[in-house]
């Protein structure tokens, strides 16, 4: 999210959740709900040996695997949900990496619909195409996952701001001189600036904010290209 290599791995963890902070912890020691456990095990066993075609799945001669359609009502809800995703959520003013994450909801939502539908079949012997009930559950679960994705990706955004704020304080207190490098920052082992990545994040943020200007010295005589940062003179005078 901060200009480093994005290989798309994190966006594939579609079921990511971030727990709420436990403010009033208490010890809970009770027997698990064995009835619920056995019910879940039974569903898994039935799914493992199920012939899906007996429960409404389609499979033509050329198809390797059976498949389900949405019911008419489920398809209508999915179309409505997908339209909102494409027109509103994927065109919102969010970070590109977060939008990339939400883009994978295009396949996540119907996948969850199918999973919920198959569980219903295994649990209650219902049949037919993916139901409206299963589709509603999938849409609600995607909304839940969206809130957690925003929280998780927001942690990185907050870190950008915190690192930049820490560097700004060092500049105002004249801990750094004009023409400093990223290495000059992280080798001081300051909090929120004690790694190369955090120092680079902070410098990039302050360049964007007009506090710093980036200068490149081309490589020469076997030396690498050097990146230095000049401090806006208005910072020290308080006119920036």
Domains of the chain, earliest start first: 28-157 (no CATH), 176-237 (1.10.10)
Count helices and strands in the chain by DSSP H and E runs: 8, 2
| CA distances (Å), origin 100, targets 2, 96, 105, 106, 167 | 14, 6, 9, 11, 30
Answering whether pTM is above 0.75, one says no
Work out the pLDDT band at 77, boundaries 50, 70, 90.
very high
| CA distances (Å), origin 81, targets 85, 102, 140 | 6, 13, 10
CB count in 10 Å sphere of residue 201: 26
| In contact, 117 and 131? CB cutoff 8 Å | yes
CB count in 10 Å sphere of residue 110: 20
Enter the DSSP assignment of 188: T
Q: What tens digit of pLDDT does each residue of 39-58 get?
A: 999 999 999 999 999 999 99
Q: What tens digit of pLDDT does each residue of 209-224 get?
A: 999 999 998 876 667 7
pLDDT at residue 1 in the model: 55
- Of residues 70, 74, 69, 66, the one with CA closest to residue 50: 66
Q: What tens digit of pLDDT does each residue of 139-198 get?
A: 999 999 999 998 888 777 677 788 899 999 999 999 999 999 999 999 999 988 988 888
Q: Is the pLDDT of residue 240 over 80?
A: no
| CA distances (Å), origin 132, targets 78, 139, 211 | 9, 10, 54
Q: Is the pLDDT of residue 93 over 90?
A: no
């Amino acid at each position: 999210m901060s200009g480093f290599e994005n290989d798309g791995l994190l966006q594939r963890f579609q079921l990511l959740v971030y727990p709420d902070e436990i403010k009033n912890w208490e010890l809970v020691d009770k027997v698990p709900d064995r009835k619920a456990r056995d019910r879940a095990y039974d569903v898994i066993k039935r799914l493992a040996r199920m012939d899906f075609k007996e429960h409404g799945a389609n499979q033509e001669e050329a198809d390797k695997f059976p498949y389900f359609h949405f019911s008419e009502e489920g398809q209508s809800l999915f179309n409505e949900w997908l339209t909102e995703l494409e027109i509103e959520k994927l065109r919102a003013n969010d970070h590109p990496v977060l939008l990339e994450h939400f883009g994978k909801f295009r396949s996540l939502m119907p996948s969850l619909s199918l999973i919920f539908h198959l569980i219903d079949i295994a649990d209650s012997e219902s049949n037919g195409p993916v139901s409206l009930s299963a589709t509603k559950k999938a849409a609600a679960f995607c909304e839940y996952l969206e809130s957690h994705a925003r929280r998780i990706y927001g942690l990185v955004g907050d870190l950008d701001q915190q690192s930049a704020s820490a560097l700004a304080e060092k500049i105002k207190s004249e801990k750094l001189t004009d023409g400093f490098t990223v290495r000059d920052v992280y080798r001081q082992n300051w909090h929120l600036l004690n790694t190369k990545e955090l120092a680079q994040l902070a410098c990039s943020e302050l360049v964007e904010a007009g506090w710093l200007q980036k200068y490149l010295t081309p490589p020469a005589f076997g030396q690498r290209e050097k990146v230095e940062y000049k401090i806006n003179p208005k910072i020290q005078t308080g006119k920036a």
